Structure 1
């Protein structure tokens, strides 16, 4: 007898649309002129601090400059983020979203993490210290009584 298959969890919508870029005008401008910064911040949080903002942003820039297709690298993080938060693959597949609309995709990912409580300026470790952004907090310790 085979074991029952685990029940698939329902996927949820993104908190903002792909083209809602101007809801965070500052990030929109930063992403248009320095997408490496936005990407680095996203990668740092998605990787739970195992990569640095500067390191990820630099690698993104190198891939963009040498290959001209940084979207390939950034779409991997969109996929990873979608799996982590059970987000729908919309409006189309991750690679197509990044290939056709890289700045909008980065802005949407940035807004999603902000809407989940992350302060993107302080990165993963800063959010852990503050207890922000869905980072598990230690349970409160109840005093023992007899």
Structure 2
């Protein structure tokens, strides 16, 4: 008689979030002071870091240097984040935030990424 060992592969455990709102407001910079300081003093560096954390190209925000009045990358990243996380809002609001509060908008997106991180829990394999 032979014994057979069955091993189950670890499965990711996803945390669902029911909120259709941003985890923090655009001007809630004191929720994460170090990040807001970096965004204030070196917004291009902070935008690149946040873009990379979101899964986009690291240098994508640098394309805004060639933009006109409305920062297109900031606006599109904010709209993309709203779409991905199911957050209510409008393109008009994304445009206003990107145009008048670029640093604060990048901070808000960074905080959102942190708050929406999906934790993966590894399960132990057991013999049966």
Q: CA deviation at 1:20?
A: 0.8
| 4+ residue segments displaced more than 6 Å | none
- Report matched runs for 1:13-32 at 5 Å: 13-32=21-40
The count of aligned residue pairs is 110
User: Is 2:74 the counterpart of 1:74?
Assistant: yes
More helix, by proportion? 1
- Report matched runs for 1:34-53 at 5 Å: 34-47=42-55, 51-52=57-58
Q: Deviations over 1:70-115 (max 9, x none)?
A: 721111111111111111217x621221112111111111111122
Greater RCO (CA < 8 Å, at least 6 residues apart): 2
1:134 to 118, 122, 125: 118
Provide structure 1 residue ranges, at least 5 long, that are not aligned to the other structure: 1-9, 117-132
TM-score normalised by structure 1 residue count: 0.62
- RMSD (CA atoms): 2.5
Provide structure 2 residue ranges, at least 5 long, that are not aligned to the other structure: 1-17
TM-score normalised by structure 2 residue count: 0.69
